[in-house]
Structure 1
Amino acid sequence: MGVGEKKKEVNNNRRKLILKAAQEIFSQKSLMDSNISEIAKKAGIADSIIYNYFKNKEDLLFYALSDKLKDIEKDLKLHLEGILDPASKLGKMIWYHLYINDRVPGGTQILKALLFECRSNKNFYTHEGYNTLRGYTRFMSQILQQGVDENVFRPDINVILVRNLIFGLLDEESLSCLASKEIESTLSDFSGIMDLIFAIISKNETPPPGNNDDKENRILKAAIQVFSNKGYNTATISDIAGAANVAEGTIYTYFDNKKDMLFSIPKKRFCALKNSMGEMFNIKMPVRKLRRFIRLLFTTFMGDRDFLRVFLLDIKLNKQFYASPVYKDYINYISILEDILEEGKEQCVFRKSINPRLFRHLFVGAFNHLATRWLILSKEKPIDMMQEIEDVLDLLCRSVVVNISVLNDFEDRID
């Protein structure tokens, strides 16, 4: 080995050492709370050496996730070797995600923590590290497209939408296990997950008030705008007080601290949404009720981009959210889905085998992925987004109905 090759190998090894140290530190602390010095100490090098490989702490975070994803993808491809048919390949890829949740908890927690940090940072979506995440998700798209090309999956599926639904469901499963502790393991849900997914893509026909309140609301409205424009970590109580035109001390009359204010934002929104849904429950047809509920959530959130940005980036991807009391309010609202599903089962419109919690994850995961893409990455016109919402509604309903003719009948009735 020549001098140049030895030097290259040393650089590669050192870079890898820095990335591994960064993965551990960033998974234990947030980007804001960690620093280059502790990463350098963990790697056994001087602080200055890190800047030979990475521009700054944020750049290091994004590459740390990229490095972790490359390891995961390499291992996944080993699991898929020798599997030729797309249905088995898709099942194996989903099984692998659940497997690393349950069997490699330390590594999974590092991966999920890095994803939390990166996906809640707008700069990540223009960074080279994002391309690794895109490449990984594209791998599933290729499997789905193979299924379409080989006439195994429905020829009319939107591959990108279905991919987002699947990854969204898997994200929610991970959070349910690793963050909120709602379930102890995810592998036990494998058959239920595949039941939902194959119902979507299979070719067969069985798919599937007062002044004080006004002031509090004014503060929350100002907080949404400030958090959306500056980001939660950068925003200060003083910024919010100025935007709300109140004294800084007034804010502490209503909220204990900035975090309390952040988590009060969705609580208010979910309570208002739930109180506005009385009319919906006069609807007798479960399919119509399911579509109305899902459409209401999509359109309500998409109608307030500041709230959507704060909810997606600062709340939903904040690990503290899942340990907060407001998480129960969130689940209480989303659980309306489960009531609708049970009603549909009783009327023999929805399949008895549906796991309501898994369907909730499918829906919420799809919403998160689509809304993030619309908010940060895309330039879609409102009419394009509305059409995509309707397409998602069709896919979600297909996953639960006893027979596709139920959807056809529903369409006939509303025409």
Structure 2
Amino acid sequence: MNDPIDKWLADFMNLDGDNVKMTDKQLRIVQAAVEIFSEKGYAATSTSEIAQKAGVAEGTIFRHYRTKKELLLSIVAPMMSKLVLPFVLRDFGNVFDLPYERFEDFLRAMVRNRLEFARKHLPVIKVMLQEIPFHPELKKQFLEHVGARILERFHRVVEHFQEQGTIVQMPTGAVVRMTASVLIGYMLTRFLLLPEQDWDDEAEIQLSVDFIMYGLSAREPKSP
């Protein structure tokens, strides 16, 4: 691999409570794995491809990781605990804690926040989105340590606006689920299904928010 190691990836993978730092070869292996996993998916990627892209012998991979699955887990599992979870508790938490006059203002802030995070860490986010549903241990860890924290805060926001009488009195879990379906669907289409499309993110955010707030009725949405 002739490309330099991405600084954020090097910093992230070297964040270890025991102060165990990765060698340059290990970092090249991880970066190559992230790039190929994000492009082709875990199942379609071979360790020989990873080794070639990393500029190391295939045997070097197996000196550090017993299997391809172990390599995947070494990337995704710590990413959830060292990158995604702190982000949820710190930066994303700020979105939940700020005062918003309307539910739609909160939704716009949340999507903009997610877009920025996804742009900065897109390859490894793609690996997470593609692989967590197919690996029970990763799914369990995500739901317990990340999903639960987001859902708890999201529920509180919905309940706040329901108490104000500005959004429908529907079961809170249903509001969260349907809202998340629209926003996550947009993000998946934006970054995984049709990334080559010429996206106007602000326009798409507004369309998504209007759909959540007003559905497909002929009623005219209020101005932002």
Q: Residue 390 of structure 1 aligns to which amino acid in structure 2?
A: Q
Kindly indicate whether residue 154 of structure 2 is the aligned counterpart of residue 340 of structure 1.
no
Which of 38, 41, 45 is the equivalent residue of 1:228?
Answer: 38
Task: Name stretches of at least 5 consecutive residues in structure 1 with no aligned partner.
Answer: 1-208
Write out the 4+ residue segments of structure 1 that deviate beyond 6 Å after TM superposition: none
For the residue of structure 2 that corresponds to 1:297, the secondary structure is helix
2 CA distance for matches of 1:311 and 1:267?
Answer: 13
Which of 289, 308, 327 is the equivalent residue of 2:143?
Answer: 327
Partner of 1:213: 15
Q: Measured at CA, do residues 221 and 357 of structure 1 come closer, stay the same or move farther in structure 2, by a change above 3 Å?
A: farther
Kindly indicate whether residue 190 of structure 2 is the aligned counterpart of residue 380 of structure 1.
no
Partner of 1:243: 54
2 CA distance for matches of 1:308 and 1:211?
Answer: 15
For the residue of structure 2 that corresponds to 1:324, the secondary structure is helix
| 8 Å contact kept, 2:12–2:83 | no
Offset of 1:365 from its aligned partner?
2.8
Q: Measured at CA, do residues 271 and 379 of structure 1 come closer, stay the same or move farther in structure 2, by a change above 3 Å?
A: same
Offset of 1:395 from its aligned partner?
1.7
1 CA distance for matches of 2:110 and 2:39?
Answer: 29
Q: Residue 157 of structure 2 aligns to which amino acid in structure 1?
A: I
Offset of 1:390 from its aligned partner?
2.2
Partner of 2:109: 292
Q: Measured at CA, do residues 358 and 378 of structure 1 come closer, stay the same or move farther in structure 2, by a change above 3 Å?
A: same
| 8 Å contact kept, 1:224–1:307 | yes
Post-superposition Cα deviations, 1:231-261, rounded to whole Å, max 9, x if no partner, equal: 212335672797398x6367459x9813423
| 8 Å contact kept, 1:262–1:315 | no
Q: Measured at CA, do residues 233 and 294 of structure 1 come closer, stay the same or move farther in structure 2, by a change above 3 Å?
A: same
For the residue of structure 2 that corresponds to 1:232, the secondary structure is coil
Partner of 2:177: 361
**Normalization by structure 2: what TM-score?**
0.62
Kindly indicate whether residue 84 of structure 2 is the aligned counterpart of residue 270 of structure 1.
yes
1 CA distance for matches of 2:115 and 2:34?
Answer: 18
2 CA distance for matches of 1:371 and 1:363?
Answer: 13
Kindly indicate whether residue 96 of structure 2 is the aligned counterpart of residue 312 of structure 1.
no
For the residue of structure 2 that corresponds to 1:235, the secondary structure is coil
Kindly indicate whether residue 205 of structure 2 is the aligned counterpart of residue 393 of structure 1.
no
Q: Measured at CA, do residues 398 and 299 of structure 1 come closer, stay the same or move farther in structure 2, by a change above 3 Å?
A: farther
Partner of 2:4: none
2 CA distance for matches of 1:377 and 1:212?
Answer: 33
2 CA distance for matches of 1:270 and 1:244?
Answer: 29
Offset of 1:391 from its aligned partner?
0.8
Offset of 1:325 from its aligned partner?
1.9
Provide the aligned length of Structure 1 versus Structure 2. 193
| 8 Å contact kept, 1:291–1:393 | yes
| 8 Å contact kept, 1:341–1:356 | yes
1 CA distance for matches of 2:155 and 2:55?
Answer: 38
For the residue of structure 1 that corresponds to 2:222, the secondary structure is helix
Post-superposition Cα deviations, 1:360-411, rounded to whole Å, max 9, x if no partner, equal: 332333344434444334632132x442222102222446xxxx99x737x2
Partner of 2:222: 408
Kindly indicate whether residue 118 of structure 2 is the aligned counterpart of residue 301 of structure 1.
yes
2 CA distance for matches of 1:241 and 1:273?
Answer: 33
| 8 Å contact kept, 2:38–2:123 | yes
Offset of 1:321 from its aligned partner?
5.7
Q: Residue 70 of structure 2 aligns to which amino acid in structure 1?
A: N
Task: Name stretches of at least 5 consecutive residues in structure 2 with no aligned partner.
Answer: 1-10
2 CA distance for matches of 1:211 and 1:258?
Answer: 12
For the residue of structure 1 that corresponds to 2:181, the secondary structure is helix
Partner of 1:93: none
Q: Measured at CA, do residues 213 and 266 of structure 1 come closer, stay the same or move farther in structure 2, by a change above 3 Å?
A: closer
Q: Residue 224 of structure 1 aligns to which amino acid in structure 2?
A: V
Superposition RMSD on alpha carbons, in Å? 4.1
- Alignment identity in percent? 16
